[in-house]
Structure 1
């Protein structure tokens, strides 16, 4: 597959997320996909494996976060890798606190499927927006 096709596949991934189209999303992912989201005190952090892991983290994201991307991300491809650079803004639903997250997603594409995603996000900004005070209030 060409790098241009790999970029298009990753764009389909983001488009499916934006539409909330789980079937289209899983169609571009390998069955043994691994999605790593770093961080602590951030509800989406962890390693998510397989279609069930991807579906689970996206379900949790829709429950926990309201997010927008004010500008389209940039896509850079070489070999089997597609890097996506962008900015997301939004708020954590439980705390109503806003955040701004500069991110990089590193995708690995093999045989026409996304096999690995590694996020590089501003974990501190996301954890801060997720924090509740000592009384448990936002």
Structure 2
């Protein structure tokens, strides 16, 4: 494997080890100022946010406001190839209403200079709408 591949894999692995325990402190600093995050699908939670401020305002903030406690994201598989790292993961959270939100995810990260510059997030969007609400 090439050095960028292993470096990128190590950064994402460390970030997800924190998320496994509800600690985003290794994940959030990886976001590039110009990050683009796409939540794929056609639900209320499907979005395309450009820039760190938009990701925090339109994705991270509203999502974490729906949780009663820590949000865990447990990696099941991490694959890396050059600038790309793919993570299969399982969410573990409870909503403020007491409902379970345990979604399955596939994240495709594109890295540049040790930062996440692009994310494509695939998940069960019907489950997201059902457990988290449609944002109405």
TM-score between the two structures when normalised by the length of structure 1 = 0.74
* Residues 29 and 82 (structure 1), Cα distance of their counterparts in 2 relative to 1, 3 Å cut: same
Deviation for aligned residue 1:25:
4.2
Whether the aligned pair in 1 keeps the contact of 2:75 and 2:88 (CA below 8 Å) is no
Deviation for aligned residue 1:68:
2.7
Aligned to 1:115: 117
* Residues 20 and 85 (structure 1), Cα distance of their counterparts in 2 relative to 1, 3 Å cut: closer
Aligned to 1:86: 89
- Whether 2:72 is the aligned partner of 1:75: answer no
Whether the aligned pair in 2 keeps the contact of 1:91 and 1:99 (CA below 8 Å) is yes
Deviation for aligned residue 1:16:
6.0
Q: Mind listing any 5+ residue stretches in structure 2 that lack a counterpart?
A: none
User: For the pair shown, which has the larger CA radius of gyration, 1 or 2?
Assistant: 1
Deviations 1:51-110 (A, max 9, x none): 2123222222221135334x54321011211000011132332x4322331110000012
Please, what is the CA RMSD of the aligned residues?
Answer: 2.6
Distance 2:133 2:56 in 1: 25
Q: 2:44 is paired with a residue of what secondary structure?
A: coil
Distance 1:130 1:25 in 2: 22
Distance 1:77 1:25 in 2: 17
Q: Mind listing any 5+ residue stretches in structure 1 that lack a counterpart?
A: none
Moved over 4 A (4+): none
Whether the aligned pair in 2 keeps the contact of 1:84 and 1:105 (CA below 8 Å) is yes
**Aligned residues between the structures:** 127
Range with bigger deviation, 118-127 or 26-35: 26-35
